[in-house]
Every structure is written in structure tokens, then in C-alpha cells.
Amino acid sequence: MTAAGVSVHFARRRLPASVRRKRFLLAVANHSVLIAAAVAFLAPFVFITLTALMTNGQALSARLWPHPFAWHNFVDVFTTAPIWRWVLNTLQYSVLATLGVVISSVPVAYALARLQWRGRNAAFMVVLVALMLPPQVSVVPLYVMWAKLHLVGTLWPVIIPN
């Protein structure tokens, strides 16, 4: 940060007005494009938020602005579905899976990146192949396996593989 500041400082002192103006215009252009892109990126969120505040009938019409605002949707979410249960499931999954990932992959990453051992490249290739295996392939053999372990219907089958 300081290095950049210093060089800008020197550059400012040297540069003639025309160059400085050119740089200013370039910065303006840069920011304009960024702002336009940011608006485009945010638009879907805005549309979805607005729709979340519409009644069902309105959501299926071409109206852009909710009229009237159906704040009640946000209450319904909690009353019509067991959302707390779902949130709990998600929390349980993410906490345990994250812990598992960190504990199990750090030693492997270390082994693959830092240690020299015979077959290191082969092992790395195997990891890459695993990435290429479409998840749908493994579903059936794995389901049979989980069924044998009597863990079907619990969250463990989604947590452990991570």
C-alpha cells in the first residue's frame, strides 16, 4: 500500500495536465463500467426480493412493483413449513462437514504439496479423477452401502463423504 502511494505521489508531480486528465477520464470510464455491471448483478436479487413481497396472483403477473406489499409472506414461511427444523439440519450438516473437511484434508494437502514420496503424482491424478467422477455415478453403490450400515434416513451419509 505504501509503495503504491509513493509511486502515485511521484507520478503526480511529474505528469502534465493532459496526461492527468486522460487518467481521470479512464478512471471514470472504469468506474462507470463497474457500476453498470454491479447493477446488472444486483438486479436479480432486487427482482426476487420484490417478488417475495407480492401476493401469489401478483407474482404471476407482469407487475414489477408489489401492490400492496405482502409482508405476510415472511410470516407464512415460518408457519406453513417446519423451517426451524430445516435450518437446524443445515447447521448440523455445515458445522460437522466443515470440521471433517478441515481435519481430514489438511494432512493430505500437506502430503501432496510439501512431501516428496513415491507415487505422489499418481495420487494427485487419482484425486483429480475423483473430481471428474459425476456424482450421480456413485449414488447407487453408496446408497446400498449406507443401507447396510443402517444410516439411511440420517444426516451422516451427507456429512461423512466430505
Partner 1 sequence: MSPWLVGFSVFFGYPLVMSVYLSFNHYDLLSPPHWVGLANYRYLFTVDPQVWTAVKNTLWITGVAVPLQVLFAFGIALMLARARRGVGIFRTIFYLPALAPPVAATLGFVYILNPVTGPVNTILGKIGINGPLWFQDPSWAKPSLVVLGLWGVGNTMVIFLAAVLDVPRHLYESAELDGAGPLQRLRWVTLPSISPVILFAVVLGVIQGLQYFTQAYVAANVASGQASQAADVTAASLGYPLDSTLFYPVLFYQHGFSDFQMGYASAMAMLLLVVSFAVTLVIVVRSRRWVHTVAAVR
Write out the residues near partner 1 by the rule CB under 8 A. 3-4, 7, 27, 30-31, 33-34, 37-38, 41-42, 44-45, 47-48, 50-51, 60-62, 64, 103-105, 107-108, 111, 126, 128-134, 136-138, 140-142, 145, 160-161
Which residue, 108 or 152, has its beta carbon nearer to partner 1?
108
In the complex, the smallest distance separating the C-beta of residue 134 from partner 1, rounded to whole angstroms, is: 5
Phi-psi domain of 153 (left: phi exceeds 0; alpha: psi -120 through 50; beta: other): left
Diameter of the chain measured on Cα atoms = 78
- Contact of 83 with 92, CB cutoff 8 Å: no
Residue closest to 54 by CA, chosen among 42, 65, 43, 38 = 65
Which residue, 48 or 75, has its beta carbon nearer to partner 1?
48
Which residue, 72 or 120, has its beta carbon nearer to partner 1?
120
Which residue, 122 or 137, has its beta carbon nearer to partner 1?
137
DSSP string, 65-84: S-SS--THHHHHHHHHS-HH
In the complex, the smallest distance separating the C-beta of residue 14 from partner 1, rounded to whole angstroms, is: 12
In the complex, the smallest distance separating the C-beta of residue 24 from partner 1, rounded to whole angstroms, is: 10
In the complex, the smallest distance separating the C-beta of residue 79 from partner 1, rounded to whole angstroms, is: 21
Which residue, 17 or 109, has its beta carbon nearer to partner 1?
109
Q: Exposure pattern of 25-52 as b/e (b: 16+ CB <10 Å)?
A: eeeeeeeeeeeeeeeeeeeeeeeeebbe
